[in-house]
Amino acid sequence: MQANKTKAERSREANARYYRHHPKRELLHSAKRRAKEKDCQFDLRETDFEIPTVCPILGIPLVCGKGSITPNSPTLDRIVPLLGYIKGNVWVISARANLMKNDASIHELIDFAEWVARTYGI
């Protein structure tokens, strides 16, 4: 029942509904905030990127507007982090792929991929 919810709960629900219908705006809003926090360049518009239906790295479906970030949430990723959030330097990948990419060096990712291939015979 709507009357029993706090103002904060109603606000969160309204935001989730809004961003479910405008996911690019949410990605831009979040990226602009991160750019300001990291003091990096930001010059993006909604027309500068597309949100695919599946993550180009992991092949999992991308799901918008759940109200909180899930592994399948789309995230705006900087291809070359030092360049910032500029046209041609971003793509949309899943939160899961972005977390994996952010937390590991290229060498760690290669080592991990080689271990998976050896362990599971891929």
- Convert the pLDDT of each residue in 15-74 to its tens digit: 777 777 789 999 999 999 999 999 999 999 999 999 999 999 999 999 987 667 899 999
Degrees, nearest 5: CA angle 93-74-105: 40
- What is the pLDDT of the chain when averaged over all its residues? 90
CATH of the domain at 97: 3.30.40
Which residue range(s) make up the domain with 111?
2-120
Is the pLDDT score of 2 beyond 60?
A: no
The pLDDT value recorded for residue 9 is 83
Number of domains in the chain: 1
pTM > 0.75: yes or no: yes
Distance CA 4, CA 16 (A): 19
Please enumerate in sequence order all residues whose Cβ is within 8 A of that of 19, keeping only pairs 6 or more positions apart, or say none: 25, 26, 64, 65
